[in-house]
A and B are shown apart, each in its own frame.
Chain A
Amino acid sequence: MKLIRFADISLRYKIPLRVSALVMITAIAVTMVMVLREYDESRRDLVAHAAGLGRVLADTLTAPMIHDDLWRAFEVIRSPQRQGNSSFETLAAETVVVLDQNLLVFVSTQPQRFPLGINPAQLGGDFAGILARLESEDSPQQHLLEPAGSGSIYMVTPIIADGVLLGRLVLGYSRQVFIPRLGNLAARAGLVTLIALSLVLPLSAWWGRRLADPLVTLASAMDQVAVELPDPDQLAPLSTGDEIGHLATAFRGMLADLHEKKQIEQQMLVSERLAAVGRISAGIAHEINNPLGGMLNALSTFRRHGALDPQTEKTASLLERGLTQIRDTVAALLVEAKVESHPLTPEDIEDTHILVGIAAKKKNARLIWDNRVDATLPLNSTLVRQILLNLLQNAVQAIEPGGIVNFHTYVDAGHLVIVVENDGAHIPEERLPFLFEPFATDRREGHGLGLWVTYQIVHRLDGGLDVDSRPGLTRFTIDLPLPETA
């Protein structure tokens, strides 16, 4: 079995676990402080009790000691132990020993352990130290003795009658007496901790989830980056101003940048391919055009000179038509940018309206026309008209009968912007990269060069071309920079 490291656990669990641990540590610390305080208090109580009891007993013991009345002395020292009072039960002395003037045992509550008349120092243990202390005492007084390493504390009270020292009363208390009291306290603290934990755990679980969820979402989104770029707009919005909010914002920015980069890469790929196709087709067209021109010239000369029999005439005509078609196709492929033309006028644009309007009417389509160009522009009118015709004809062809074509053109910041929209079937995503390649059409009519030509023209004019196609709307946007008029 693989051991799970704590560091690997999800924050969802880590936070409640840490909160619980904190609660436990706090509870233990507080309990320890309380237990220590309680111990202190218990000890103070005990010492006060022992001092008072010692004085009372010592006073009561004077008569039996003077009279050498062993039994009465025994009854006196035994009396505190026989109290049924429960609050004093823990304070009952474990050992009570009365020593005479010579520090020999006069009587004790444990006669077996402290035989009468012996020197208790012989018993060793705590008493050796206590006796040594008492022997070195100048003037007898009550004191508390705590032999090092002993489980007991002792309250020693002198028994004095009329200024004469009769003996000493030693009350021995086991430190064990505190244990039930401290145990009770610890048990109560434990219970309170459990209750607190039972409240804190669900709260911290909820809190942990709240804190961890955005991070978990972010983390899984980051995992996705390598597989497929997630859409930044689909990430749950985070408006918090904390670090997680910053992180989400930064991550979203990064995703947007990655998207843009990917698009640029795709566009570059497309335009490089188109440029390559352009170069190849230009080369091929050039290679074709040279012999083609010769062939057409020869055919023309051949038909001009000499009367031809009908069969030959028919063949020559066929050849001529075929060669002409090749020349037209090649010419279409080779976009001629150097066509001389007058600058673009608003009327040029309106002309295309009339031309396309006929086709649109045939299809019962609505052509919404918005031409904001109101001045002559320094653009080649032939080329621009070709762009407009291509785009508008395509749009009309794309729509269903009764569909809408929207045309919109205007000048903005030194650019002529042309927007053509239609509501026909949209262009599938997978076709978009090849949209502008020659013969890439899947339509029956047309030779599939319209968009290729459009692209070439826009490219020559240093313009930009943008396609946005989704269900219900296909939009071509073209912007052409207006040459600086010197």
Chain B
Amino acid sequence: MHRRRFLQSSCATAGLFLAGKATAAPTPGQREISIGLTPVFLDHQLEFLKQLRGYFSERLSMPVRFVQRGSYREIVDLVRSSKLDFAWVCGYPYVRYRREMRLLAVPLYFGNPLYQSYLITARSDSTTSSLLDLRGKIFAYSDPDSNSGYLVPQYQLLRAGENPSTFFSRSFFTWGHRKIIEAVGVGLAQGGAVDGYVWDTLEWVHPDLTATTRVVSRSPELGFPPFVARSNIDEETFRRVQQVLLAMTQDAQGARLLKSLNLDGFVPGSDALFDGIATMARTVERFRK
């Protein structure tokens, strides 16, 4: 059923594309779709991104532009100010700016739109068994707007009655999950909070990197970083892009790209998925005030 529908839509878009091509050559300022990317996945593989972009362009019959920035906040702000059409962001900024964004799709990881935050230490550290054992140590966060790499450990410390700003002797941001693993691996930090999906995927593609670290504990399952759209996106574009994502499992190229991403596909998802994150965010923000 799905397959047929996909084929129909594919024919339709191809027809559209051809028609567009025949009637009007690409005009300056032609509509192009911009998608913001953040280090919620392995966003440094440029060759892979090229393939992914090509795939989206082809499926959408529209030029697609990927936009990368050094922090989550920059991407989130671009979406909020409607300078980006879509973005793959973390659940934490999503729950914070829910009203200024629209949930487009949530990736499926091991069949569920869920993932965990891992607490990691160096492989050589065999004594640490929980976050509380890292008191007075140096801790690596990924990004102040990251759920798994910042919000989760902050929340856990608060729940344990600790003050997150003084619990560690020192903490720093690496602005990427992969770099957390490196920082903990070389011993720059004694502990770090990392996206479990990124750690698992790296263990699969770069076992030498993850081998320097050890997963101490895993958080409860939380909503996977979602694809969002700017709130004022037109319905047609929203529907087409969502359709492409949801149909990625349906063709060989899409399946291959999903495999590279270590994902199983996309679902439309619902706000309720991110309730857990929202609860933690409220707790942390209340403490800050």
By a beta-carbon cutoff of 8 Å, the part of chain A in contact with chain B is: 68-71, 74-75, 107, 109-112, 116-117
- Interface: B188 (CB within 8 A): yes
By a beta-carbon cutoff of 8 Å, the part of chain B in contact with chain A is: 138, 140, 169-170, 172-175, 179, 183, 186-188
A-B contacts besides A71-B173, A71-B174, 5 pairs, CB < 8 Å: A71-B175, A74-B188, A110-B187, A112-B186, A117-B170
Which chain A residues lie closer than 8 Å to B140 at the CB level?
71
Least distance between A283 CB and chain B CB atoms (Å):
126
A-B contact pairs, 9 of them (CB 8 A): A68-B172, A71-B173, A107-B188, A111-B187, A111-B188, A112-B187, A116-B188, A117-B169, A117-B170
Least distance between B212 CB and chain A CB atoms (Å):
12
Query: When the two chains form their complex, are residues A71 and B187 in contact, meaning their CB atoms are under 8 A apart?
Result: no
Query: When the two chains form their complex, are residues B172 and A111 in contact, meaning their CB atoms are under 8 A apart?
Result: no
Query: When the two chains form their complex, are residues B170 and A116 in contact, meaning their CB atoms are under 8 A apart?
Result: yes
Which chain A residues lie closer than 8 Å to B169 at the CB level?
117
Query: When the two chains form their complex, are residues B172 and A70 in contact, meaning their CB atoms are under 8 A apart?
Result: yes
Which chain B residues lie closer than 8 Å to A117 at the CB level?
169-170
Which chain B residues lie closer than 8 Å to A109 at the CB level?
186
Query: When the two chains form their complex, are residues B172 and A69 in contact, meaning their CB atoms are under 8 A apart?
Result: yes
Q: Which 5 A/B pairs are nearest by Cβ-Cβ distance?
A: A70-B172, A111-B187, A71-B174, A112-B187, A111-B188
Query: When the two chains form their complex, are residues A111 and B170 in contact, meaning their CB atoms are under 8 A apart?
Result: no
Which chain A residues lie closer than 8 Å to B187 at the CB level?
110-112
Docked Cα-Cα span, A123 to B172, in Å, equals 25
Which chain B residues lie closer than 8 Å to A71 at the CB level?
140, 172-175, 179, 183, 188
Q: Is the interface of B mostly helix, strand, loop or mixed?
A: mixed
Docked Cα-Cα span, A111 to B174, in Å, equals 16
Query: When the two chains form their complex, are residues B170 and A70 in contact, meaning their CB atoms are under 8 A apart?
Result: yes
With both beta carbons as reference points, the residue of chain B lying nearest to A108 in the complex is identified as B188
Least distance between B27 CB and chain A CB atoms (Å):
42
Docked Cα-Cα span, A230 to B196, in Å, equals 105
Docked Cα-Cα span, A70 to B173, in Å, equals 8
Docked Cα-Cα span, A453 to B179, in Å, equals 132
Which chain B residues lie closer than 8 Å to A116 at the CB level?
138, 170, 188
Which chain A residues lie closer than 8 Å to B172 at the CB level?
68-71
Least distance between A102 CB and chain B CB atoms (Å):
15
Least distance between B74 CB and chain A CB atoms (Å):
16
Least distance between B70 CB and chain A CB atoms (Å):
10
Least distance between A92 CB and chain B CB atoms (Å):
16
With both beta carbons as reference points, the residue of chain B lying nearest to A71 in the complex is identified as B174
Which chain B residues lie closer than 8 Å to A70 at the CB level?
170, 172, 188
Q: Which of A69, A74, A110 contacts B183 (CB 8 A)?
A: A74
Least distance between B213 CB and chain A CB atoms (Å):
14
Least distance between A73 CB and chain B CB atoms (Å):
9
Least distance between B120 CB and chain A CB atoms (Å):
15
Docked Cα-Cα span, A418 to B172, in Å, equals 132
Docked Cα-Cα span, A47 to B204, in Å, equals 42
Least distance between B189 CB and chain A CB atoms (Å):
8
Which chain B residues lie closer than 8 Å to A74 at the CB level?
183, 188
With both beta carbons as reference points, the residue of chain A lying nearest to B176 in the complex is identified as A71
Which chain A residues lie closer than 8 Å to B175 at the CB level?
71
Which chain B residues lie closer than 8 Å to A110 at the CB level?
187
With both beta carbons as reference points, the residue of chain A lying nearest to B188 in the complex is identified as A111
Docked Cα-Cα span, A116 to B140, in Å, equals 13
With both beta carbons as reference points, the residue of chain A lying nearest to B179 in the complex is identified as A71
Least distance between B142 CB and chain A CB atoms (Å):
10
Least distance between B44 CB and chain A CB atoms (Å):
13
With both beta carbons as reference points, the residue of chain B lying nearest to A107 in the complex is identified as B188
Q: Most A CB atoms within 10 A — which of B169, B175, B179, B187?
A: B187
Q: Most A CB atoms within 10 A — which of B138, B173, B188?
A: B188
With both beta carbons as reference points, the residue of chain B lying nearest to A78 in the complex is identified as B186
Least distance between A301 CB and chain B CB atoms (Å):
152
Least distance between B9 CB and chain A CB atoms (Å):
44
Least distance between A482 CB and chain B CB atoms (Å):
122
Which chain B residues lie closer than 8 Å to A68 at the CB level?
172
With both beta carbons as reference points, the residue of chain B lying nearest to A113 in the complex is identified as B187
With both beta carbons as reference points, the residue of chain B lying nearest to A112 in the complex is identified as B187
Which chain B residues lie closer than 8 Å to A112 at the CB level?
186-187
Which chain A residues lie closer than 8 Å to B174 at the CB level?
71
Least distance between A121 CB and chain B CB atoms (Å):
20
With both beta carbons as reference points, the residue of chain A lying nearest to B186 in the complex is identified as A111
Docked Cα-Cα span, A110 to B186, in Å, equals 7
Docked Cα-Cα span, A111 to B212, in Å, equals 14
With both beta carbons as reference points, the residue of chain B lying nearest to A74 in the complex is identified as B188
Docked Cα-Cα span, A75 to B173, in Å, equals 12
Least distance between B138 CB and chain A CB atoms (Å):
6
Least distance between A397 CB and chain B CB atoms (Å):
119
With both beta carbons as reference points, the residue of chain A lying nearest to B170 in the complex is identified as A116
Docked Cα-Cα span, A201 to B223, in Å, equals 82
Least distance between B179 CB and chain A CB atoms (Å):
6
Which chain B residues lie closer than 8 Å to A111 at the CB level?
186-188
Docked Cα-Cα span, A105 to B242, in Å, equals 50
With both beta carbons as reference points, the residue of chain B lying nearest to A75 in the complex is identified as B179
Q: Most B CB atoms within 10 A — which of A69, A110, A111?
A: A111
